[in-house]
Amino acid sequence: MSAPSPAVAWVAGATGYTGREVVARACALGRRVHAHVRPDSPGLDAHRDRFEALGAVVETTPWEREALAARLAEVRPTEVYALLGTTQARARAAAKRGAPPADYAAVDVGLTLMLHRACEDAGIRPRFVYLSALGAGPKASTAYMRARWEVEETLRAGDLPYTVVRPSFISGPDREERRLGERVGATVSDALLGVVGALGGAKIRDRFRSIDAASLARALVDLAVDPAAAGAIVETDRLRE
């Protein structure tokens, strides 16, 4: 009998708040982890030190479909995490510098779908774990939520196995990047949801309250190998189970 193939993870967005924790969690569980960092990242050396200390391989393949497909065909990941996302502030800063577009269409949709297509081109069938957001929908009021819906729809129409995860706020005191508005929003909404929960609205509280990156990463890494999560949409309440 042949030995089962080892779990191999490819983490896109590895440098982000969630991505770092996914790399750490997957390494801790003994998976072979390839942490993708964009080659022009100003923090590349620091990311390399951090990820290699955990036992991960650092990948710096450029964001080009052919190059990604070629590397994915070599690595043959069994789970691919798509944890990329920009912000309006980052998009504005990129435009000011004259850098390539870095808005939701270019990053959240464009790079995520490039990764998905590159997996197909590589002839591999990893579980594609996509970090969407609670509120994604075709008629959502924000471009951010509509972008997430567009990616979700493409995954549903495609051939790769996938799991869509829709958290509410991803927030915690350990977030390095300063995002005051998001942190205040999460704190206020968690406080209100605590009251709702105490008044008997536990289901509403669990659906909308924030989750920190370490808890989210535990769930993502478990879901990636859970047969029942193939083709599933998992929202915040189930992420804590």
Ligand X SMILES: NC(=O)c1ccc[n+]([C@@H]2O[C@H](COP(=O)([O-])OP(=O)(O)OC[C@H]3O[C@@H](n4cnc5c(N)ncnc54)[C@H](OP(=O)(O)O)[C@@H]3O)[C@@H](O)[C@H]2O)c1
Q: How far apart are CA 97 and CA 86, in angstroms?
A: 16
Q: With respect to ligand X, which residue has the nearer C-beta, 107 or 224?
A: 107
User: Shortest approach of ligand X to residue 69 CB, angstroms?
Assistant: 17
b/e per residue 20-50 (b: at least 16 CB within 10 A): bbbbbbbbeeebbbbbbbbeeeeeeeebbeb
The pair of three-digit structure tokens given for residue 150, joined into one six-digit string: 């567009």
Using CB under 6 A as the binding rule, whether residue 167 contacts ligand X is answered as yes
Residues within window 90-109 making contact with ligand X, judged by CB under 6 A: 102, 107-108
Using CB under 6 A as the binding rule, whether residue 155 contacts ligand X is answered as no
Q: Which amino acid is at 7?
A: A
Q: How many residues are present in the chain?
A: 241
Q: How far apart are CA 70 and CA 79, in angstroms?
A: 17
Choices 15-23, 115-123, 200-208, 222-230; region in contact with ligand X by CB under 6 A:
15-23
Using CB under 6 A as the binding rule, whether residue 10 contacts ligand X is answered as no
Choices 11-19, 152-160, 201-209, 224-232; region in contact with ligand X by CB under 6 A:
11-19
Q: What burial class does residue 231 get, using C-beta atoms within 10 Å of its C-beta: 0-12 exposed, 13-18 middle, 19+ buried?
A: exposed
Using CB under 6 A as the binding rule, whether residue 17 contacts ligand X is answered as yes
Q: With respect to ligand X, which residue has the nearer C-beta, 67 or 199?
A: 67
Given 9, 10, 15, 219, the residue binding ligand X (CB under 6 A): 15
CB atoms within 10 A of CB 141: 9
Residues within window 200-239 making contact with ligand X, judged by CB under 6 A: none
Q: With respect to ligand X, which residue has the nearer C-beta, 6 or 40?
A: 40
| Cβ atoms of 174 and 213 closer than 8 Å | yes
**CA count, 13 A, side-chain hemisphere, 59:** 24
Q: How far apart are CA 149 and CA 156, in angstroms?
A: 10
Q: With respect to ligand X, which residue has the nearer C-beta, 100 or 123?
A: 100
User: Shortest approach of ligand X to residue 21 CB, angstroms?
Assistant: 8
User: Shortest approach of ligand X to residue 199 CB, angstroms?
Assistant: 25
Given 85, 109, 152, 217, the residue binding ligand X (CB under 6 A): 85
Binding residues for ligand X, per CB under 6 A?
13, 15-19, 38, 41, 83-86, 102, 107-108, 111, 131, 133, 167, 169-171, 182
